[in-house]
Amino acid sequence: MIDYQPLYNLLLDAKVDNWVKLLPQQIASAFELTKHGTLSHWQSVIESMPELATTHRLLDANVIEIGRSDDLTKEEMMELESRLKALHPWRKGPYNLFNIHIDTEWRSDWKWDRLKNHISPLNHRLVLDVGCGNGYHCWRMLGAGAKMVVGIDPLLLNIFQFQVVRKLYGEVPVYLLPLGIEDLPYGLKVFDTVFSMGVLYHRRSPIDHLMELRDCLRPGGELVLETLIIDGGLGEVLLPEGRYAKMRNVWFLPSCDTLISWLKRCGFQNIRLIDVSSTSVEEQRSTEWMQFHSLKDFLSVENHQLTCEGLPAPKRAIITANTI
């Protein structure tokens, strides 16, 4: 398991003792074997991973790379690939681990390319990534110079995928916690940059989510928000009556003007819309490493501008804003 003590030390230095007191119990509770049927299997995958030495690590390119093919024997590479596939499905990436290419469902590097030149430099910053998945973007944040990156995601498979990558990489100031943002104590105000990407539309109250994000930021800190949106004017919001692109847990899809007004109401300033992009079947798709249905299965067969429910197809906006 990951040694979280360096994270605790940094949080103590930042004078957020209240969270440090909670974290060990929160982490222990999340990893209770009775809570998930395959938890012990995932743990065995990590614990039985051999120590694999390498000098090759690349975090500032589209594909996160650790190790080279000539670092391992053929047998070691086959065993590593088997262990990685035991953690299927891999949704966020891509990764290249000792020349094993993990072609994930999402080309998460495309999203990073859309925002990386528009956000405040991450050099020496303490960064929080809310709903971080398996941590692909956390690695990119570290590669961009962050002092420390903390990712939170309640899905345990994502945590174990991150752990296997971290074990191959070695000790590094990136930590994923098996938590949701509602598990963070009120009044943190410690992070220099907070990312929330692909989360807002899953929250029953988008305003509460924006307030929670604001509460994590230090004064003058930066929010990087990415979410599903619709075309339309101020005040327009789509609330699906049932599923959206076969997803049950989609609530509010605002227009960009509406989203900006929400941010203003929550006390953010310097609000900038930096990108609007339709999600393509090239960016999100089934692969050998994610063999379930993906975007093309969620769109109308006759018209890819609509979901299979007849709603507007996924379009995403990225917005940056600052706390006062």
138, 176 Cβ separation under 8 angstroms = yes
Q: What is the pLDDT of residue 118?
A: 98
Stretch 256-283: mean pLDDT, rounded? 98
Q: What is the pLDDT of residue 36?
A: 81
Note the pLDDT tens digit of each residue in 104-123.
999 999 999 999 999 999 99
Q: What is the pLDDT of residue 135?
A: 98
Q: How confident is the model at residue 128 (pLDDT cuts 50, 70, 90)?
A: very high
Distance, in Å, from the CA atom of 167 to the CA atom of 51, rounded to the nearest integer, reads 8
Distance, in Å, from the CA atom of 213 to the CA atom of 223, rounded to the nearest integer, reads 8
Note the pLDDT tens digit of each residue in 30-53.
998 777 889 999 999 998 888 898
Reply yes or no on domain 5-322 having CATH 3.40.50.150.
yes
Amino acid symbol at 149: V
| % of the chain surpassing 90 pLDDT | 92
Q: Which of 259, 268, 258, 255 is nearest to 321 (CA)?
A: 268
Q: How confident is the model at residue 174 (pLDDT cuts 50, 70, 90)?
A: very high
- Helix (H), strand (E), coil (C) string for 76-100: HHHHHHHHHHCCCCCCEECEEECCE
**Does residue 313 surpass a pLDDT of 80?**
yes
Distance, in Å, from the CA atom of 39 to the CA atom of 233, rounded to the nearest integer, reads 46
